[in-house]
Structure 1
Amino acid sequence: MSKVITRTVQAQLITRPPATRPLTPALRYDTGDPLAVRLVFPAEISLDGEEVAWAFSRDLLAEGLLGPAGEGDVHICPCGQQRTVIELHAGEGVAVLEFPAADLRDFLRRTYEAVPPGAEGALLHLEEGLDALLRGV
């Protein structure tokens, strides 16, 4: 049975520097998908009225707290000692969000308590998945 860790965090959507808009997305980690974290935006703040979740690797979050990290759709980098910036790249444009770094570090620490770094593979059940996929072949 998987365990889900959720933490609502305060963020600032940087619209046009120095303009910002406060947001309260949630960070979510599910031990059933131990390599990923999700940044979840509630329906009331999304463009289409639906909850929106961005999934990216837990390692990317850890790297981005220490220095610039990310290729593709998600980029994370520290902004001084107290803040961390997460950029989300989509076809519609780029959303730049600023978070308290302490909140992200605390969330990451809680995920490590649930699944220590390097122990993710034991939870992936790859053999069972392959067996089910290849059954009857």
Structure 2
Amino acid sequence: MEVHDRITRRVDSALHRRHGLSLTGFEALRRIADAPGERASMGEVAEALGLSRPGVTSTVSRLVADGLVRRERVDADRRVLHARLTDAGRRRVAEAAITHDELVAQLLTPLGDDAAVVTDALARVSAAARSRR
């Protein structure tokens, strides 16, 4: 928990400073960017980030206010609200991803050759946790 908190605070601070994004906002943008058509339902974003519906609504509302995302309904199911990247959102997530990925890589550097073992182990723990929800 301590390691997670330290890394999260450091990455969150860098994203705020350099890109005006929280780590949660960045992760939401990245999930939307990775979704088919750069569009994801609010439920998909909430599930991917481990947020409640109100939590994801608040996060997406900030991204909408910043002009990075727009909400829309899809003809297939008008009941489901989706978040879609704007051109500004696409640019912001691409720029912020460089900062995020470089900082995480830098934080893993002290592990040397063990970095791959640690990241693989964490990926397996994450997958197991997702499958048990």
Alignment TM-score, normalising by the size of structure 2: 0.31
| Larger proportion of strand | 1
Determine which structure has the larger helix proportion and give its number.
2
